[in-house]
Each structure stands twice: as C-alpha cells, then as structure tokens.
Structure 1
C-alpha cells in the first residue's frame, strides 16, 4: 500500500514546523531573552591591603623672596636675568632716585650751616662769660670803694646791674648753643632717614638664590611692595600636594611618598610628607600637604605638576575582593556567590580599599564569605537570585564599543 502524496506533504510540513519550533526554542534559550546571563567570576582571597593616598601637586619653593621697592617709583635698571644665580648682598636692580640726591645735598648744606651756627654760639658763650667775669670784678672793686665811702650807692647799683646783665647774656648764649646742637641732631637724623631711603632704591639679594622671574624692566613704574624680581632657593623645592578630603584618611607627616614628575613620567622619586596644612580648601574640597623629595633631581622647574602616591600602614589579614565584585541589591551592598549551581546574594561591609581596586570586606559569621568562595566579578546585566548564568573566561565588550 502506497502513501498518498497529500499525506507525504503533510508529514514533511509537520517535520519542518517541528524543526523550526525547536530552532526557535534553542535560540531563545541560548541567545534570546531566556538565555543564561554570562558572568565572569573570581575567587575570594585572604591577605592584607596596603591603602594608598593619591593626589596631584605642583613643585614649589619652600623659601622664596619677592624683591621690590618700599616706595613707589620708576625702575632705572635691572642687572640680573631669569636663571641667574645670585649671592647674598649682590645688586639686583636699582630704582630712579628722582630728587633724593638733591635733597641729600640740601641737607648736607643745612648741616654745615648748623655746625657754623654752633661755632658762633660757642663764641658767644665765651664772650658772655668774659663779660660776666669783668662785671663781677668791677662790682667787687666798687663794693670795697663804697665801704670806704669813695663812691656813692648809685654807682654801686650800676655795677650790680652790669653783673645781672652779664649773667643774662651768658644764659642767652648758652641757650643759643643748645638750640644749635639740637638743630644739628635733627638735621643728622633727617639725613640718615633720607640716606636710608636712597639706599632702599638699590635692590640687593637677601640670600643665595636663583632668579625665577623678572617682573619689571628699566623704565617701568612700580608701586610700593610690587615685585621687580622673584628669587627662589633651588635647594628648598617641595611638592604642594592636593588630596580629595573624602580619600585623605590617614594623611599625616612622615608618610613615605612616591613622586612622578610630569617631566619624568617613567621615573619614581622617593619623598616624605613633611607638613599637613591645618587649613583645607573648602572650594575644591581638598586637603593640602607638603611633600619633600629625598634627593632633588637636576632640572626641576618651579610650578611643574607631579603625581604623588602616599603609602599607609597595611591592614590586618582579611578577605579580599576586587571592588568591581561589590553590587547593590534591595538597598544592600554585597556580592553574588555561586552556590549549588545557583546564585546567592551575600551582604558584606566594605573596608579599606587599595589603589589597585582591591577592597577588604567583612560579612555575617553565619553564611558569610569564606576564602576560596567563587563570586561574580562582572555580568552582562543585573542579576537576580533565580537568574540562569553561564560562566565565561572574559566578557566580550558590547557591540560598537571603542577598541
């Protein structure tokens, strides 16, 4: 008995339909929305975390000087240039004295005149003393004559008046002498003050230093306190470090530092925190610290940027996980642990974290994490306790992601 063509066609179509349904089911279960979530896993380890503080800073000079005039004026000349090394007391620049030299000459003339006036006053004192001595001698002789009735009383009174006049003349001469001495003292003080002003117009180096900047040229007008030159001590360079306040726990003097200058990206220079500033920057929310280099390399520029890493003391041994393994589920922080072929969310408390992303965690004693447990590191999408998973070596980047 032969099968009719109609039945054969029906069986063929049914087989094709079953194959298509099986293929669709396979695709849905393997690559569609019902496919298992691909995850990358890692093992819980035991160890110590060496926390570190990272920050950006710039090279500054601990000792620097802004050299400028104490009064407003015009710069006459600048005798050094940027990069020059200067010694203490070396002339750096000079201000225009304007009329200070003429005023000094006028005071010198006034001082000479006052000294001449003093000499005249001394001569007057000598003359007054001689007049008083003569008047006293005449008065004494007339007293003897009056006792012998050789002269009248009126003549004796006239001699007495001469003595009084001589005493008054002597007092006036002595007063003039004292006044001339005070004039000389005043003029000398005025001249010394003017000479000090004249000397301040000559700008000199306060210490051995390096000329860092030249802020004014000859002919420029500057105000009092404005810098003409900036000097730095090249042996006192350090890094002014800025650290995020939220990551600055443990920042203290004495911490060892690794410094990478922008001009030396492949070289790590050792250093140490020497000071933590008591005032933080409230605008940028950063704390400030000063880091000194153990050995200052040649060619370091003031203002150069630097990357600084500070090492804190290591923590006691504990469970370690990559920070990427920590997930949020129902408002709690924890990890997804592979258990009996499924997933279980284990709450944990994150502790100290290192710059490499390793974080120390603690959890409940019963049912918590143990060394060697396998937890999810990365997943294609958010996980649920009943989610089907497929463990892969490494998750492929999303389509269209930059390579």
Structure 2
C-alpha cells in the first residue's frame, strides 16, 4: 500500500513537473507568444511639420582684399561696423607709386609735344610736296613747247619725288608720335588705376564680420583682409532627415528658435532646398530665412527650425511607431486570431508628436501593434498587453 502511494506520488510529481515545464515553454519559453502593445486607429486633425538643427549663415558674403602685394597702411573699420558701397575700408602703402605717376605725367606731356612737332613737320612737308609737284608739272609743259630742256624737267620731277618721300616720312612720324603719346597715357592711367587699387573699397552695403589683418601687415594679392555679409541675407542652414523632408517646399512657413533665445520663436520661411544632400548622415539641407530678422544675429549660432506643412482635417491616424516596412511594402501589424498579420496601408503626413495619417487599409477603431518584444513575422503567436497610452 505504501509502495503504491509512493508510486502515485512520483507519478503525480512527474506530471506536475511536465505540466509546469510545458507551461513555461508555452508561456515564458521559446514557444511563448510574443508580447505586444496595441493602439487604436483614431480620427482627427493633423498638423504636419518637420524639424531640423542648423546654423545661422549668410547667403551673400564678400571677401575684400588687395589685387597686389603690399603693406597695410591704414585700416578704417572693424568687426560689427556697417559699411556702404564705395566706402574705403583700408589703404595699402603706395611706396614710390606717386613718384612714378609724376614721371609718367612728364613723359605723357613730352609725348604730346612730340605729336605737335611731328604734325607741324608733316604740314611743312605737305606744303613742299605741293610746290615741288606744281613745278614738275609746269616744267613738263615747258618741255613740250621746247622752252626748257629735258634735264631741267627731270630735275624738277626728282625734286617732287623727294618732297613726296619726305611728306610720307613726316606722316609716319606723326603716327609714331601719337602711339608714343598713347603708350605714355596708358602707362599713366595704369599707375593711377594701380594707386586706386591700393584702397580697399566695399563693393556693397554690408556688415563687417571679420577683420583679418592689421596695419603694418604685408598682404598678398587675393588675400582677404575683411569679410562682409549682407545682413538682409542671413538665414539658417538647417539639416532635416531625408525621411521627413519629402513634403518640404519653398515658401513654406517655419519657426526659428536661436540657441541664445530659446524662449523666443522667430518667423521664418523656406527660401531654398539645396540640390546636394548629405549621403553620410542621410539629411537634406534646407535654407530658412528670417521674415523679420532680429537686430543682432551671430554667424554660426545654432538654431532649431520647425517647418510647417499642410494640415489634414478629420483623417485616420495611428502612432508613427506602428508603421513598418515589410518586403518593401509600408503597412502595420495587427492581431488576427492570436497571430500577427501584416496589413499594407498607404500613409500620408507625419507629425512631430508621433502620429501618421492613414489613407487606406484600415478603419477607425481597428487595433494595430505599436510595440513588440521581438521582431514580428507573419503568423507569429502574439499576446496583447495593455497599452500605456
């Protein structure tokens, strides 16, 4: 009897153990259903927007520097100064340029005198040629009447040819003198232009944002002494996730929050979407300008940009976390008879508070899986857990 009782006890213990093991395997082990959190499809208004982080930059910036090497003699402006187009910002030491200009002025005056002298000589040569030609014609007529000899007529003809050659030489002298005068004038104009280039002049109305050289510094051609920007062209060069930037377009309104004024939101507008995206960070660069720029902006300051997109009225929506990709299809996971089922859907706008518009595939009140303790596949056993929402 005691042996039978022990046998029953062992059999009962074994059954209890197997039952416990089976329960563990099916409820907590590899055969246990995957725990999921669900949410219901809702209907309401959505306001789409995307955000990004960027820095304050200038669309129009200018580097002002010399066109020739030299030593800075004067610097008239500093960072933060507003300048006007044509304003002299700095001067470079001319060294002996003024003396060279005066020398070319003297050379130009001498060249002009040479032109006058050559012109007078040409007129004299023309007069002598006309006289010699007239004498040659007269003696030719007298030879025909036998009043003078052929030798005398030939002599007058030779004198006319000599006078003509002298006239041509004088004419060439005038051309050469004029070229010399033009050369002297061009040299003088070139030196004056070179002297004018020693003054660094602002090409536009703008704000000086950097002063990169001081008086006494030797600078070379092309080296920037100042950097200017157009204050009206300041914008935020923001980076937005490519996945969210699909609906961003020019002229959309935006809100800008500067790092230095985190409690103040400034109105902005999308001005340009750069064609070159960042393939490494998978971001698109959006330039957002200020509708009313603040009085003082600092280049390089961090700013957060929120771009407002279209609104959707009375539309179906689900938490964005519920939208998944399965075999290149967009859809959501649902529970069908205790198992996971993928339902393809067409999505619309997304909001910053984590909601996504559904255009088709589901109806209001349907439940979708928002979170799962493991990656889902079609037909997997799942067990719903109360959503924290």
Say yes or no: does 1:288 pair with 2:281.
no
Deviation at 1:43, TM superposition (A): 4.5
Name 2:175's counterpart in structure 1: 178
Given the alignment of the two structures, is residue 200 of structure 1 paired with residue 197 of structure 2, yes or no? yes
Report how far residue 220 of structure 1 moved: 2.6
Q: Given the superposition, is the C-alpha separation of residues 41 and 182 from structure 1 closer, same or farther in structure 2, using an over 3 Å criterion?
A: closer
Residue 238 of structure 1 corresponds to which residue in structure 2?
235
Mapping for residues 254-293 of structure 1, pairs under 5 Å: 254-293=251-290
Structure of larger gyration radius = 1
SS in 1 for 2:310: coil
- 1:347 to 2:366 alignment: no
Match of residue 323 from structure 1: 320
CA, structure 1 residues 131+257, in 2 after alignment: closer, same or farther (shift >3 Å)?
Answer: same
3-state secondary structure, aligned to 2:216? coil
Give the deviation of 1:379 after TM superposition: 7.6
Distance in 2 of aligned mates of 1:81 and 1:284: 38
Q: Is the 8 A contact 1:347 1:363 kept in 2?
A: no
Deviation of 1:257 after TM superposition, in Å, equals 0.7
Pair 1:252 & 2:244 matched: no
**8 Å CA contact 2:36, 2:383 repeated in 1:** no
Following superposition, the deviation at residue 327 of structure 1 comes to 8.2
Q: CA deviation at 1:362?
A: 6.9
Q: Residue 104 in 1 paired to residue 97 in 2?
A: no
Structure 2 CA distance, aligned partners of 1:101 and 1:54? 60
| Cα contact 1:348–1:361 (8 A) shared by 2 | no
TM-score norm. by structure 2 comes to 0.76
- Alpha-carbon RMSD: 4.1
Counterpart mapping for 1:127-146 below 5 A? 127-132=124-129, 135=132
Residue 283 to residue 96, structure 1, CA distance change in 2 (3 Å): farther
The whole-number CA distance in structure 1 between the counterparts of 2:120 and 2:325 is 106
Matched, 1:189 2:186: yes
Cα separation, 2, equivalents of 1:135 and 1:33: 132
Provide the C-alpha distance between the structure 1 equivalents of 2:151 and 2:34, rounded to a whole number of angstroms.
Answer: 143
Distance change (3 Å), C-alpha of 1:323 and 1:175: closer
Distance 1:115 1:343, change over 3 A: same
Higher mean C-alpha displacement, 67-76 vs 145-154: 145-154
For the residue of structure 2 that corresponds to 1:371, the secondary structure is coil
Q: Give the count of matched residue pairs.
A: 362
8 A contact 2:255–2:266 mirrored in 1: yes
1:284–1:39 Cα change, 3 Å: closer
Gaps of 5+ in 1: 1-20, 395-403
1:96 and 1:69 mapped to 2: Cα distance? 11
| TM-score where L is the length of structure 1 | 0.73
Unaligned runs of 5+ in 2: 1-15
Q: Is 1:334–1:345's contact at 8 Å kept on the other side of the alignment?
A: no
Structure 1 CA distance for aligned equivalents of residues 144 and 285 of structure 2? 102
Name 2:364's counterpart in structure 1.
371
More off after superposition, 97-106 vs 228-237:
97-106
1:67 aligns with 2:64: yes
Corresponding residue number in structure 1 for 2:224? 227
**Retained in 2: the 8 A contact 1:38–1:391?**
no
> What does residue 13 of structure 1 align with?
none
Tell me the SS of whatever aligns to 1:154. Answer: helix
- 1:158–1:285 distance in 2 versus 1, CA, 3 Å: same
Q: Using the alignment, how far apart are the partners of 1:145 and 1:393 within structure 2?
A: 135
| Aligned mates of 2:111, 2:64 — CA distance in 1 | 38
C-alpha separation between the residues in 2 aligned to 1:257 and 1:222? 43
